[in-house]
Structure 1
Amino acid sequence: MNIKTILKWLFITPVVGLGILLLMVLPLLVLIKGTAMSYYAEMSYLLSLFIGGFAAFIVLLTYMIAIDRVAGRQIFFSIWVKLSVAALCVMSFVLYSMYVLNDENVKNRRIASQYTQTHPVLRLGLQSWSLFDRSLVITDIARSHSFYRRHRMRTYYRSLHFPQKHLDGKVYALDIRTKGRGKFRNWITQVVFRMMGFGTLRHTGTADHLHIELRLRKSDKQKIAFATRKIRNRNRANRKKRQNLLAEKRRVRQQLLRKLRTVKSQNERRLSEIEREKQNQGLEKSIVQKPVSQDSGMRNSATQKLDQQGENSSGVASIKTEGMRNTNSMTKSQTSNQSQSDSSKKITSNNVTSKADSKKEESELENDDADDAQ
């Protein structure tokens, strides 16, 4: 063999190998790239999956027709067999990538249960690459606010790891392990996902990992902005309602307190008045009861004495009459003395007033004489 033939085969064999590999991978690339491009063209993910699957179906159909032409005979029999085989291959792979995930490619079962929450386009690309990279491990898919608190990290509210409730409730991002895989393999993985149309980022949040995300479209960004604006307005309205309710509660509470204070003061006044009335009534009763009790005691003692002195009743009666006469005479003399003293007081007061009047007249006359002299 010549050197030229050896060099030719050395050049042809890798090219042929790359061509065969490209032919094998081309249906997957067409499926994923067509789905991603149609999705970024503002189509729904179901329609984008249909378009990508239809493109892969056409590629497989052309492969089978080319194989029949090269072989010179119909290996796949009729055209209907070719159509059915191509359709089954595409549909089976799409369904497999949507609902099946190997345990080797997941960190734990919790993340495996979150696999169906990821976006279908992202699932399709992940399963396509997992056919060639068996050491691929998903470390994180869906997150919550407790995740950031548990790891003592600041919550990033725009993270695509959160379920996008304003769009379709799906998770638009996942993390792949980079530890123990080698730099070249991690670089190839990042390049492949970029070629598929996904966004990639190598960073260290909780640990070193490769972040892969399905980028948001313009319509999705507008929906999220509109939803956030709506939520802010609703929160403001709710805040105003709460403030108004609190102000009204305070006003009602103040009114109730004022009413309670007035009622309390009125009750205190009434109680004080009732206590005063009770005290006055008690004093009156005590004042009335004391002389009555004294009179009754004196009467009882007098009756006892009279009973004991029954024999000398006539003498006692005469003594009583004499005593009554003496008391009457004494009262008459006292009244006469009082009248005399009153008359003497009146006379002295009249004398004093007459003297004062005479003094005033004399002083007035003296003043008049002084005025005439001047």
Structure 2
Amino acid sequence: MDNLSQKDVDWLLDLHKKDRHRRRSQKGHPELRKLFIWSLVIFFGIIGLMILPFYLLVRTSIFLNLEYGYGGWISLGGGIVVSVLLLLTYLLFLFQKIKNRKKRFQFSLGGAGAMVFGFCLFSLFYLSSVNAKSDEIRNVYRSMHPILRVAISIVTLADSDLVITDIERVLSDYGAMGLPVNPHSLHYRQDETGYVHAIDLRTRGRTEIRNLLLQASLEMMGFQTLRHVGTADHLHVELMVR
């Protein structure tokens, strides 16, 4: 040490300080990472809890319709029951400080039922002009299968610019569009249900990420989708006929 110059001593002290600072920083990083990870978990958890009632509403309805052969309205009713029960659980948890259990249950059940039934009634009978290519689309909106109507209304909550470009067709429409006639199209009113089981959604003028997310979300709900590209770029969505 006697042979070290003051310059060497200063350099060693500075190196020691930097090393201590580096070790302190390393100790803090895992805590920051944990906080960041937990923040993401909580954020996506909340989003998931918000989406789950809507997802179960449609997924349960399609399951009952295709797997058990229940009619569209009965199947939708089953989906509504499942969605109401889930929301009831949420509300009972949120209002657990209310000591009167009977009032808490009545209030929560009434709130959950009002939210789900209100949304479904709105979805079944109303389509905004923003989400329809033309007035003709709005006029035939109620020809769509009820489960499909509710599902599209749910999607518009996340994608307000969604546009339905086609719903109901007849044989002559294919000739007018210069397309070969498709005798098995689900755009026709189906004899089994009396409803149209297919719609087309606009994909042009939208980012590919939005189109992929739209397609993935509908497939997760249980619908069949097919992307048509080219001059008539659109997403074909259909509810299979059992």
Distance in 1 separating the partners of 2:194 and 2:230: 24
Identify the match of residue 164 of structure 2 among 134, 138, 142.
Answer: 138
Q: Secondary structure at the match of 1:18?
A: helix
Higher relative contact order (CA 8 A, sep 6+): 2
Which residue does 2:4 correspond to in 1?
none
Whether contact under 8 Å (2:98, 2:104) holds in the other structure is no
- The 3 A distance-change label for structure 1 pair 80 and 116 is same
Which residue does 1:210 correspond to in 2?
235
- Residue 53 of structure 2 corresponds to residue 27 of structure 1: yes
Which residue does 1:261 correspond to in 2?
none
Which residue does 1:129 correspond to in 2?
155
Distance in 2 separating the partners of 1:75 and 1:100: 38
Unaligned runs of 5+ in 1: 218-374
TM-score relative to the length of structure 1: 0.55
Amino acid at match of 1:54: V
Runs of 4+ aligned structure 1 residues displaced above 3 Å come to 72-77
Whether contact under 8 Å (2:95, 2:104) holds in the other structure is no
Q: Secondary structure at the match of 2:95?
A: helix
Q: Secondary structure at the match of 1:139?
A: strand
- Residues 1-374 of structure 1: matches in 2 within 5 Å? 2-40=28-66, 41-69=68-96, 72-73=97-98, 77-164=103-190, 166-204=191-229, 207-217=232-242
Whether contact under 8 Å (2:148, 2:239) holds in the other structure is yes
Q: Secondary structure at the match of 1:78?
A: helix
Distance in 2 separating the partners of 1:74 and 1:120: 40
Amino acid at match of 1:7: R
Unaligned runs of 5+ in 2: 1-24
Superposed displacement of residue 4, structure 1? 1.9
Superposed displacement of residue 74, structure 1? 5.3
Whether contact under 8 Å (1:174, 1:212) holds in the other structure is yes
Give the % identical residues. Answer: 35
Superposed displacement of residue 168, structure 1? 2.5
Matched length: 214
